[in-house]
Structure 1
Amino acid sequence: MNIQHIRNATLKVEFAGKTFLIDPFLADKGTYPAFPNSARQDQKNPLNDLPVPLDSIIDADAVIVTHLHLDHWDDVAKDVLSKDIPLFTQNEQDAQKIRNNGFQNVEVLQEDTVFEGIQLIKTKGEHGRGPILEIAGSVCGVVFKHEDEKAVYIAGDTVWYEEVEKVIKQHQPEVIVVNAGDNQFVEGGSLVMGAEDVLAVHKAAPTAIILSVHMEAVNHWALSRTDLKQFASEHHFSSQLIVPEDGEDFTF
């Protein structure tokens, strides 16, 4: 298994002989306006260029879109991906919107989805806490399982809460990918995991390797890579945490 962090939540996951593209956010640096009511209003999104050529990013067997926010499914992705590529999403509402973009092979993830012998298990998530959830909308994560691979849990845009803990207890993932930029609006609090959430994940799965992504990529990030690494050092879990730079890949 190999996981390459592209940028933000965009990943390439090579698993049991198949390559999955996760949450494609593929525009050039500065293409879109800053997200409103948040930090860095003078910076357009994405904040960084793609670290590798676009053609190599979209060379995949299937795509998983955890939800339809711009920084997970953007106009460039809609334009450049093959319209017949197998594409998985969280619910029928999202699936229909993607079909309306011309995609012909869209499937809603279930807890028992199988693609080319690989289990794709949809997991729950909460894109924030309290009233902001109504604005943020529904999201999902996914667990990858195959007899020849370590189990991988891609948590998606969620904070730490009881359903994340349940997934860890049920599936015992050896690799966990968390979106941990602590992205925030001026009012509403964290939309994804912050440092304390990542620590909670570690405590729930102390032997798992945690990859922290979705960092320093869009204007409303609040937790830097440097600060998370320092926090992990202070709380003695640096050996279990990877905070990748854009373009880095890791084999497990």
Structure 2
Amino acid sequence: MQITQLRNATIIIALGEYRILVDPMLAPMGAIPPLKYATRHRRRNPLVKLPENTDALLETVTHCLITHCQKGHFDHLDRAGAKWLRSGKVPVFCMQGDAGFLRKKGLMVTELEAGKTQPFLDGLITPIPCIHGIGFVGRFMAHGYGYHIEFPEEPSVYIAGDTVLSDDVRRCLVSSQPDVSVVPAGGARFDLGEEIIMGVEDLEKVTRLTSGVVVANHLEALDHCPVTREELRGLREQKGLGDRLRIPMDGETLQFPA
């Protein structure tokens, strides 16, 4: 298995003959308004360009997987991403609650069912509920799902989606023990309220809940995600995590042997 980090939540997972694009945010740098306004220096999103090898990587994509996309979550499917999927007629997997929304965008959709393990390409997929923020802010968020994916002769992979460290996430990490877990670690928050995804503290807890490799993303691409790669490298060194905590740069491909 290979996982290529494009930007923020956007990754490409190579499993067998398939190349699965997850949560495509493909807009140019600075094309989208800020998410934080109570600051002296407002910054438009995304904060960084897509890596130079993006077009070549996208040419390999066979399918797309969406964790959530409504209530303004452009960082998981923006206009550029939807246009690219539509023009390429790329098959899209999503949860039932997002299917109608995506069909209205002209996408070819296959619905996944909550609460069950089900066929997915040549393997199996289990949706895991997300909690994309708690309290006041959480009421306005699209909470979505992460996915635990199992393929024959490939490492199992858990894509956490946008979530804090909830009971469902803990349960998946402890009971399923994924070989690889891709988790949001940017500590995103708006001008008001608590973190809406995991940050440094939750990421460290994740590494104690699973014996597998943890891949951190949602880093340095949006104005409301303050956690940096440098901070996470410090955590890795301090806790002696070594290769168990991977912090890919945009455009980097990680290899995971069967």
Q: What's the CA shift for 1:238?
A: 3.5
TM-score between both structures, scaled by the size of structure 2: 0.91
2:47 counterpart SS class: coil
Equivalent pair of 1:58/1:81 in contact (CA under 8 Å): no
**Other-structure match for 1:30:** 30
TM-superposition CA deviations, 1:32-51 (whole Å, max 9, x none): 11114465752111111110
**Other-structure match for 2:91:** 86
Q: What's the CA shift for 1:58?
A: 5.3
**Other-structure match for 2:202:** 197
**Other-structure match for 2:65:** 64
Q: Aligned partners of 2:41, 2:124: CA distance in 1, in Å?
A: 41
Letter in 1 for 2:84: V
Q: Aligned partners of 1:233, 1:64: CA distance in 2, in Å?
A: 33
Letter in 2 for 1:114: P
Segments of structure 1 that go 5 or more residues without pairing to the other structure are: none
TM-score between both structures, scaled by the size of structure 1: 0.93
Q: What's the CA shift for 1:219?
A: 0.8
Q: What's the CA shift for 1:132?
A: 1.5
**Other-structure match for 2:105:** 101
Tell me which of 192, 201, 209 is aligned to 2:213. Answer: 209
Equivalent pair of 2:102/2:109 in contact (CA under 8 Å): no
Q: Aligned partners of 1:130, 1:57: CA distance in 2, in Å?
A: 38
Q: Does 1:73 align with 2:77?
A: yes
Q: Does 1:224 align with 2:228?
A: yes
Letter in 1 for 2:225: W
**Runs of 4 or more above 3 Å deviation:** 36-41
Q: Aligned partners of 2:66, 2:59: CA distance in 1, in Å?
A: 13
Q: Aligned partners of 1:240, 1:209: CA distance in 2, in Å?
A: 4
2:108 counterpart SS class: coil
Q: What's the CA shift for 1:73?
A: 0.2
**Other-structure match for 2:7:** 7
Q: Aligned partners of 2:247, 2:84: CA distance in 1, in Å?
A: 28
Q: How many residues align?
A: 250
Select between 75-84 and 65-74 the one with higher mean Cα deviation: 75-84
Alpha carbons of structure 1 residues 6 and 223: separation in structure 2 relative to 1, 3 Å: same
Q: Does 1:135 align with 2:136?
A: no
Tell me which of 86, 102, 114 is aligned to 2:119. Answer: 114
2:14 counterpart SS class: strand
Q: Aligned partners of 1:120, 1:99: CA distance in 2, in Å?
A: 21
Q: What's the CA shift for 1:172?
A: 1.4
TM-superposition CA deviations, 1:60-111 (whole Å, max 9, x none): 221111011100100001111146422111333x110100001133323443
Select between 18-27 and 169-178 the one with higher mean Cα deviation: 169-178
Alpha carbons of structure 1 residues 106 and 36: separation in structure 2 relative to 1, 3 Å: farther
Q: Aligned partners of 1:38, 1:117: CA distance in 2, in Å?
A: 47
Q: Aligned partners of 1:218, 1:11: CA distance in 2, in Å?
A: 16
Select between 60-69 and 128-137 the one with higher mean Cα deviation: 128-137
C-alpha RMSD over aligned residues: 1.7
**Other-structure match for 2:54:** 53
Equivalent pair of 1:38/1:219 in contact (CA under 8 Å): no
Segments of structure 2 that go 5 or more residues without pairing to the other structure are: none
2:64 counterpart SS class: strand
Alpha carbons of structure 1 residues 30 and 58: separation in structure 2 relative to 1, 3 Å: farther
**Other-structure match for 1:155:** 160
Q: What's the CA shift for 1:242?
A: 0.7
Alpha carbons of structure 1 residues 39 and 123: separation in structure 2 relative to 1, 3 Å: farther
Q: Aligned partners of 1:128, 1:67: CA distance in 2, in Å?
A: 14
TM-superposition CA deviations, 1:127-179 (whole Å, max 9, x none): 12222211122211001102211111110111112111101122210111011
Alpha carbons of structure 1 residues 81 and 169: separation in structure 2 relative to 1, 3 Å: same
Equivalent pair of 2:219/2:227 in contact (CA under 8 Å): yes
